[in-house]
Structure 1
Amino acid sequence: MSVQPSVLVVEDEAPQREVLVYNLEAEGYGVLQADSGDAAMSLVREDHPDLILLDWMLPEVSGIEVCRRLKTASETRGIPVIMISARSEEVDRVRGLETGADDYIVKPYSVVELMARIRTQLRRVRPSSVGERLEYDDVAVDTAQHRVFRAGNELHLGPTEFRLLTTFMERPGRVWSRDQLLDRVWGRDIYVDSRTVDVHVGRLRKALRGATGTADPIRTVRGAGYALG
């Protein structure tokens, strides 16, 4: 079973935060919560969520400022941000989007619409979570049917190797540390030794090379981790 995408909810009003958390968990997402901009920044650095729901009106550091900081930092600019605000004027929407928000939704909003917008954003950064086909060079992954092909030949991977491969294929070129792979592939609530990552990467490499000994597409980055390509 794959680890579901994680969503950070940044909302200082507890009742609204609880409604969002309830609906996100009902959809199967992993949920993180913050009630201030500073707390949100700490969680992002620590847990690197897949998507952020960010309220505009926050105490001390505003949602706009949090968004600006996220989108100007190289390690966080790729995380989709959906700004949630009671401000419905066009000038406010424009300001939110120009600050870097990937989407903007006005309170009161439809939960069904919000969930659809979340899926749209996740389709960009976690396409495997919505059953999309992934391709890189001569490797193809059918995430809906859990099938993997290389140069047209079907490969048979274990569930962990399949999750590893989809993680690499979603972000070709990105260097993943062992801890990041543990979070994404095994989940934050499961204790696994980081050396286990090396074992499963080795199995994945062996499967990708196959009997013909084709080139290994996974690169070891000394002192940092692994990357595809």
Structure 2
Amino acid sequence: MPMPSALFPDLENAGVLITGGASGIGAALVEGFAAQKAKVAFIDIDRPAAEALVDRLASAAHKPLFVHADLSDIEATRRAVTSAGETLGDIRAVINNAAWDDRRDFEDLTEDYWQKSHDINLRPAVFVTQAALPYMRKAGGGSVINFSSIAYLLNMGEFPAYATAKAGIIGVTKSLAGRLGRENIRVNAVMPGMVLTERQKQLWVSDDAATAFLDRQALKFSLVAEDMIGPCLYLASDCSRAVSAQTMIVDGGCM
């Protein structure tokens, strides 16, 4: 799918930090912001996929910077954000995209599994943003974009830990918007619907299930990772300078 054709001149040379940028939606965002000539850094645990992405985008105006870290390790995450911030110089936008959409039935939940889900799906949105704050102040403000999911609104019983974390993202977004607005930092959430990444197709979503889900959507095409680029470009840019504490649902008209 082609990149969005719209240009956002204010994003040229802007520092952008993306979590979970090696694959799926995150990789699409890295490419989308690189196409805007932003200075993109991304954090991921998957070194081979990340390095392949960097090689593929080597001809961009600013070659993306990959920083390796396990986002469930807060100290390692802080070091990764600091490394990215020092290299970029400042950070204009933080996109907390990383997620682990594993499935486990309620009766099979364990304390360790519940904690692992929240360590990946919820905590990094707080501590990545916290670590990036000095670099956003240096930029004079900016935008934090947190990824939630419509899954927690659909009574989907397959992933109670994931759904709870994604509901928590909305609470974090509202609270941080109230705190950081005084520093000219906007905080919003993006809430995707069913996005057919390679991971989704390999692990969870059959062709029949994808087709059936279209019955719930107003738009009769399956969403792909690139469909998340435009909303994030808008929320990161000055076009949305008056938008904060909001949740943008990007689900093809399912909700």
- Fold match by TM threshold 0.5: no
Structure with higher strand content:
1
Give the number of the structure whose alpha-carbon radius of gyration is greater.
Answer: 1
Greater relative CO (CA pairs within 8 A, separation 6+): 2
Alignment TM class, shorter chain as reference: 0.3 to 0.5
